[in-house]
Amino acid sequence: MEVPPPKGGGDPKDQCSAVVTPAQFLLSATNPEQFPPAELPEVAFLGRSNAGKSTMLNTLLGRKLAYTSNTPGRTQAVNFFRVEDRLMFVDLPGYGYAKAPKAVARAWQEVIEVYLLQREGLSLCVLLLDSRRGWMETDLQLKQWLEVHRRPFVVVATKVDKLNQKEKNASQKAIREQYPSGDLIWFSGLNGQGVKEIWQTIWKKTAR
């Protein structure tokens, strides 16, 4: 799939603004049969419950399209967002929510696996880690799963504005112990840190 050039011409990788319009919420799917046709390159956002996926989506798009909540496990469906008729952002259900009923958690996992394994338009997975907590067991399991199945992914450490420099250095060291050479981006929804780098990675991975 090819990503059309940004409006006004130029290299799409140069368009790294937090404001990307028009963008719209397309649909929520609770099972694979409800997924829309894979007509555009897709970028999937994955992470533990309350890792900041909705905040990241809203920051990248410059619009409040994804619902944000302080309650973990709020996202219980696969949410599709169409961005400028050039690509699709896909918000996958958060994992690791201890209070979710086991049957619900299994259903989330099955939907996520079907999407990640079978979705033809999937071009990039954005794996979010809470920078204050680093790798949890479920994060490592997902990272290893992505590696085994050769799904392209980038790791983004979120909520970095909540760390001082000493804490950030410690967090980076801990993350790198399990992820020594891949792309690592530091992100803050408060001050926009990392937005440009995330967009650069998205255009690089979705361009053909």
DSSP-based three-state secondary structure for 78: strand
Q: Confirm if 46 and 128 have CB atoms less than 8 A apart.
A: yes
Closest among 77, 62, 69 to 195, alpha carbons compared: 62
Q: How far apart are alpha carbons 26 and 33 in whole angstroms?
A: 15
What local confidence, expressed as pLDDT, does residue 125 receive?
A: 97
Both tokens of 146, joined, read 């992505």
Q: How much is the average pLDDT of 62-68?
A: 71
pLDDT band at 1 (very low <50, low <70, confident <90, very high): very low
Indicate if the pLDDT at residue 70 is higher than 80.
no
Lowest mean pLDDT among 43-47, 78-82, 93-97, 157-161: 93-97
Across the range 131-135, mean pLDDT stands at: 95
- Mean of per-residue pLDDT scores for the chain: 84
Domains identified in the chain and CATH numbers:
12-206 (3.40.50.300)
Q: How confident is the model at residue 5 (pLDDT cuts 50, 70, 90)?
A: very low
Q: What is the dihedral of CA 74, 189, 158, 20, to 10 degrees?
A: 90
State the Cα–Cα distance between residues 107 and 102, nearest whole angstrom.
Answer: 9
User: Per-residue pLDDT for 4 more than 60?
Assistant: no
Residues of the chain by 3-state class (helix, strand, coil), percent to 5 = 35, 20, 45
What's the pLDDT tens digit per position in 8-20? Answer: 444 444 444 444 4
pLDDT band, residue 104 (cuts 50/70/90)? low
pTM for this entry: 0.84
Confidence at residue 99, expressed as pLDDT on a 0 to 100 scale: 52
CA distance 162 to 129: 13
First to last CA, the chain: 7
User: Given a cut of 80, is residue 96 above it in pLDDT?
Assistant: no
Percent of all residues in the chain with a pLDDT value above 90, rounded to a whole number: 62
Measured distance CA(81)–CA(140) in Å, rounded: 27
- Cβ atoms of 125 and 151 within 8 Å: the answer is yes
In this predicted structure, what is the pLDDT of residue 20?
A: 46
